[in-house]
């Protein structure tokens, strides 16, 4: 059952969710066991073969969404340290959108977006965000945040029986903790204990589907499936002002996600062991910390890359969702 949004209509998210209400989990438990065993084997063998460069209990190899994405883009980028990256309007848009969706889910329409985000920054003692917001004029802040608050209305009307949760953890720990693939899911609905099928939504503050978004979505499907021993029936991307982009889950898509993760573990082990990273320029050079010293840097790039949706960096250890590692 869906409830109407504040304008009386059914929201696009509620419509998508209810469209999956009768779906059954598409992947067998045996298949999930096989995937976990394959990943365990790869992680254990790779860690055991690393000799002096192996992971430790304090410093496991972390191969999450961001690192996998970076390894696909540019190995040298994957080896850079982004700790201390500054806030940017793109990152703050992402933070605001997450907060506004949570507000819409549990409180109601976001009527004063600047005040709402500032209150959140104060309540969480996020002084960097506070300072960032203060550096904007009121009109400028309204211009940035009002469309996001309006877009969050797409999350109205969800039936409470789906138990919506935000920023949930879905992590896979392999080889006795030597390898970790940590994920933070923007929104989860249904799943074990709810009596509803499991659904996963990634919120994107950028616009338009990129080629690597499907890989991100299916990694989360894999992490949630192995966490719950039950595969989601679908993962989706949602963009402010857009439709829900549905990625149906099947055994083949989870196998592909597991194979990509296994490849990432092996590649990361090679780089940690000292293999020189390959340089692969692209749109991502725009925010690469090595851009001022990399001979392969490409500054005049087309828009085929990740734009300023730098929340792709959001699953580093202790990361606060803004490309910084705490
Ligand atoms: S500048 Fe571009 S090519 Fe060079 S390391 Fe950074 S992302 Fe890779």
* pLDDT tens column, 47-105: 998 877 778 777 899 999 999 999 999 999 999 977 666 788 888 999 999 999 999 99
The pLDDT of residue 84 is: 61
- d(CA 232, CA 219) in angstroms, rounded, equals 12
CATH architecture of 24-83+163-313: Alpha-Beta Complex (3.90)
For residues 109-137, average pLDDT? 92
The answer to whether 96 and 145 are in contact (CB under 8 A) is yes
Q: Is 276 in the pocket of ligand 1 (CB under 6 A)?
A: no
Q: Is 74 in the pocket of ligand 1 (CB under 6 A)?
A: yes
Instruction: Please give the residue that has the higher pLDDT: either 304 or 168.
Output: 168
Least confident of 14-23, 197-206, 249-258: 197-206
- d(CA 264, CA 256) in angstroms, rounded, equals 12
Q: Is 77 in the pocket of ligand 1 (CB under 6 A)?
A: yes
Q: Is 281 in the pocket of ligand 1 (CB under 6 A)?
A: yes
Write the residue with the smallest CA distance to atom 3 of ligand 1: 281
Evaluate if residue 204 carries a pLDDT over 90. no
Maximum CA extent, the chain: 63
Instruction: Please give the residue that has the higher pLDDT: either 62 or 10.
Output: 62
C-alpha 291 to ligand 1 mean position (Å): 6
Bridge partners, 59 (sequence order): none
C-alpha 25 to ligand 1 mean position (Å): 40
Q: Which two tokens stand for residue 262?
A: 């296994």
For residues 136-157, average pLDDT? 92
Evaluate if residue 315 carries a pLDDT over 60. no
Confidence category of residue 320, pLDDT binned at 50, 70, 90: very low
The answer to whether 87 and 311 are in contact (CB under 8 A) is no
The pLDDT of residue 326 is: 23
Evaluate if residue 321 carries a pLDDT over 80. no
Evaluate if residue 316 carries a pLDDT over 80. no
Evaluate if residue 262 carries a pLDDT over 90. yes
C-alpha 306 to ligand 1 mean position (Å): 14
Q: Is 124 in the pocket of ligand 1 (CB under 6 A)?
A: no
- d(CA 320, CA 107) in angstroms, rounded, equals 23
Q: Is 284 in the pocket of ligand 1 (CB under 6 A)?
A: yes
* Ligand 1 atom index nearest CA of 298: 2
């Amino acid at each position: 059952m869906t409830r109407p949004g504040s304008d009386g209509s059914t929201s696009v998210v509620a419509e998508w969710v209810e469209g999956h209400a009768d779906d059954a989990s598409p992947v067998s438990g045996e298949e999930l066991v096989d995937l976990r065993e394959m990943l365990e084997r790869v992680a254990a063998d790779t860690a055991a073969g690393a000799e002096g460069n192996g992971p430790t209990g304090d410093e496991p190899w972390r191969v999450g969404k961001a690192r996998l994405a970076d390894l696909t883009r540019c190995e040298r980028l994957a080896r850079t340290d982004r700790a201390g990256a500054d806030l940017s309007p793109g990152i703050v848009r992402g933070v605001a959108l997450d907060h506004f969706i949570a507000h819409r889910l549990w409180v109601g329409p976001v009527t004063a977006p600047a005040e709402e985000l500032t209150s959140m920054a104060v309540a969480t003692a996020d002084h960097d965000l506070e300072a960032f917001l203060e550096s904007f004029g009121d009109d400028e802040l309204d211009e940035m945040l009002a469309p996001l608050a309006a877009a969050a209305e797409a999350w109205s009307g969800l039936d409470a029986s789906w138990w919506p949760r935000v920023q949930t953890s879905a992590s896979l720990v392999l080889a006795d903790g030597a390898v970790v693939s940590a994920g933070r899911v923007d929104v989860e609905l249904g799943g074990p204990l709810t009596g509803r099928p499991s659904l996963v939504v990634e919120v994107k503050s950028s616009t338009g589907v990129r080629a690597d978004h499907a890989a991100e979505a299916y990694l989360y499907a894999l992490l949630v499936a192995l966490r719950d021993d039950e595969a989601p029936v679908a993962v989706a991307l949602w963009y402010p002002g857009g439709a829900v982009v549905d990625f149906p889950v099947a055994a083949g898509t989870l196998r592909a996600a597991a194979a990509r993760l296994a490849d990432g573990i092996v590649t990361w082990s090679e780089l940690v062991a000292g293999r020189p990273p390959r340089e692969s320029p692209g749109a991502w050079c725009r925010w690469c910390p090595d851009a001022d010293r990399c001979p392969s840097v490409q500054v005049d790039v087309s828009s085929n890359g990740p734009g300023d949706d730098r929340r792709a960096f959001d699953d580093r250890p202790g990361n606060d969702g803004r490309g910084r590692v705490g």
